[in-house]
Amino acid sequence: MENATLGAREERVLDVAKMLGLDGILESQVGGQMIRGISGGQLKRLSIAVEIISLPELIFLDEPTTGLDSAIAHEVMSAVRNLANNNRTVICTIHQPTPATFALFDKLLLLAMGRTCYFGDVKDAPEYFVKMGYTWDSRKNGANPAEFVVAVAGGFEAPALGARELCERFLEGDMHKSFESNFDAMVAQDLRVERSMPEMASTTYPTGMLSQLRTLAKRQLIKTAQNKKPLIAGLMRHVVVALFYGGIYNSLSSTQLLERLSLCFFTIM
């Protein structure tokens, strides 16, 4: 039974690694300040993989491309797109995406002063604002629809209608009314499904404390074996401190109680 469970876990790890394009670096070290490891894009995808190892139905990502250049950001978002292709709902915030990265999204929720001024298909967003009188030419060199809609929401694109008017036009438009009707229907359907499902019993941790302790201890030993420099430095520090105190208190007699107490104090500190 335990072998079967272990096999299922390994299979899950491989599945998530393939989804995020990490199956080619499974034996690579993550690395750090002292050790060269995987790239920044791979590290970002690995952090996402760790969080979604249980493969939840709904995934929230808060600016997963922060600190990455445009090429690596596109690499990360392509992996996220692959998650969505595997029947996962991904809600993601992102700033200043390239046109190629922007095209990976299905739906866009655009905010102006904290209120919704657009919610619909990504590809329809520029045309939606063009109908309000804005000018958008996709044939321009370097034209980025993401920058265009952000400029509109921020009031930096002529005509500057203002956040309030943009939001009111959206609320009064057909797009919002269609969304409301579809949303109400989906909520009603979900409620019917929820009532028909049997009540789920409360779950506990799938593994016991000893199993978790054994796994974490093994992980720490592997990390220590991969990077021995901190361990060696720590041992050398203890040896130097021991020799230092040993030299100071070398000639203590059995009657020098105060000096012995001070030695214990400094050793503890």
Higher pLDDT, 184 or 25: 25
Closest residue by Cα to residue 96 from 149, 168, 160, 166 = 149
Q: Could you report the per-residue pLDDT of 128-167, keeping only the tens digit for each? A: 999 888 888 777 656 889 999 998 998 888 887 888 899 9
Model-level pTM? 0.65
Closest residue by Cα to residue 20 from 3, 44, 37, 56 = 44
Q: Is the pLDDT of residue 201 over 70?
A: no
Rg (CA), the chain: 29
254-266: average pLDDT: 71
Query: Which run of H or E residues covers position 112?
Result: strand 107-112
Point out which residues pair with 60 in neighbouring strands: 91
Please state, in angstroms and rounded to a whole number, the distance separating the CA atoms of residues 156 and 164: 14
Closest residue by Cα to residue 155 from 111, 94, 212 = 111
pLDDT of residue 247: 79
Query: Which residue pairs from 22-25 have beta carbons closer than 8 angstroms and sit at least 24 positions apart in sequence?
Result: 22/46, 22/49
Please state, in angstroms and rounded to a whole number, the distance separating the CA atoms of residues 167 and 170: 5
Q: Could you report the per-residue pLDDT of 86-102, keeping only the tens digit for each? A: 888 999 998 889 999 99
Point out which residues pair with 92 in neighbouring strands: 61
Q: Could you report the per-residue pLDDT of 36-89, keeping only the tens digit for each? A: 788 888 888 888 888 888 888 889 999 888 888 888 888 889 988 988 898 889
Q: What is the mean pLDDT of the chain?
A: 82
Confidence band for 217, pLDDT divided at 50, 70 and 90: very high
Q: Is the pLDDT of residue 188 over 80?
A: no
Q: Is the pLDDT of residue 176 over 90?
A: no
pLDDT of residue 142: 65
Q: Say how far residue 138 (Cα) sits from the centre of its chain.
A: 32
